[in-house]
A and B are shown apart, each in its own frame.
Chain A
Amino acid sequence: GENVEQHPSTLSVQEGDSAVIKCTYSDSASNYFPWYKQELGKGPQLIIDIRSNVGEKKDQRIAVTLNKTAKHFSLHITETQPEDSAVYFCAASQAAGNKLTFGGGTRVLVKP
């Protein structure tokens, strides 16, 4: 089955700097890659997603890139703010499958 590895497990950045989280997946049939942000006491919130026919997608300060050949995708957060502090999860899914496989999560701390 699909295996998703996520790095780093923790990330501390200064406010205003950029944060990058990387994920690799094992199944070349995976074609949908969402990113979730989870704040304390809350459920995961979908912040951006990308499909395999697209190499990059942006939404304000957040961007995701996908390299299908290398089977990795990354989340980029620019101009980080204290409210970006949370745990971020990447995930991968196939069209034919019915399972979203999650990475282990990255705890991001933005220091003011």
Chain B
Amino acid sequence: DSGVTQTPKHLITATGQRVTLRCSPRSGDLSVYWYQQSLDQGLQFLIQYYNGEERAKGNILERFSAQQFPDLHSELNLSSLELGDSALYFCASSEGQNSNQPQHFGDGTRLSIL
């Protein structure tokens, strides 16, 4: 058990809809990272928050946004969903703000767009 909690485990929705994925980091970790895992793209970094502030952006679409709340949990919002957004979405957490520190992953949310 990594200590990182993601909900829900599975999400099925339709094109054009909006969903919110939630992540609670390990106790004591201030950074939250979001990744997308698809069969053809592997694990792709989306965005990082550190102590409530956006720290780094990766290959995140404009239709996607995230935030980190004062209690350090984070939410990833995906809107105007397309078939190609079907993937596993992982959250990871680490103590500090730099990516060259151990990141611990949750078990992901599987998003299926019908």
14 examples of A-B residue contacts, CB within 8 angstroms: A32-B100, A41-B107, A42-B107, A43-B92, A43-B106, A43-B108, A44-B105, A45-B2, A89-B42, A98-B48, A100-B33, A100-B103, A102-B42, A103-B42
In the complex, which residues of chain A have a beta carbon less than 8 angstroms from the beta carbon of B103? 34, 46, 100
On whether A101 and B100 interact (CB within 8 A), knowing A43-B106, A44-B90, the answer reads no
B76 within 8 A of A: no
On whether A95 and B100 interact (CB within 8 A), knowing A43-B90, A45-B2, A100-B45, the answer reads yes
Q: Mark A68-103, 1 if CB is under 8 A from B, else 0.
A: 000000000000000000000100011101111111
A101 → chain B closest CB, angstroms: 7
In the complex, which residues of chain B have a beta carbon less than 8 angstroms from the beta carbon of A46? 102-105
**How many angstroms between the C-alpha atoms of A29 and B92 in the bound complex?**
23
A95 → chain B closest CB, angstroms: 5
Q: Which of B1-43 contact A (CB under 8 A)?
A: 2, 4, 6, 33, 42-43
In the complex, which residues of chain B have a beta carbon less than 8 angstroms from the beta carbon of A103? 42
Q: How many A-B residue pairs have CB under 8 A?
A: 62
Q: Are A43 and B105 in contact (CB under 8 A)?
A: yes
Interface centre among A34, A41, A89, A99 (most CB of B within 10 A): A99
Interface size class of B (residues with CB under 8 A): 20 to 34
**How many angstroms between the C-alpha atoms of A31 and B100 in the bound complex?**
7
A15 → chain B closest CB, angstroms: 27
Instruction: Kindly report which residue of chain A lies nearest to residue B41, judged by CB atoms.
Output: A104
Q: Are B42 and A98 in contact (CB under 8 A)?
A: no
On whether A99 and B43 interact (CB within 8 A), knowing A44-B90, A45-B2, the answer reads no
Q: Are A98 and B99 in contact (CB under 8 A)?
A: yes
In the complex, which residues of chain A have a beta carbon less than 8 angstroms from the beta carbon of B42? 89, 102-105
B98 within 8 A of A: yes
Q: Are A100 and B99 in contact (CB under 8 A)?
A: yes
In the complex, which residues of chain A have a beta carbon less than 8 angstroms from the beta carbon of B44? 102
Instruction: Kindly report which residue of chain A lies nearest to residue B42, judged by CB atoms.
Output: A104
Q: Mark A29-65, 1 if CB is under 8 A from B, else 0.
A: 0011010100001111110010100000000000000
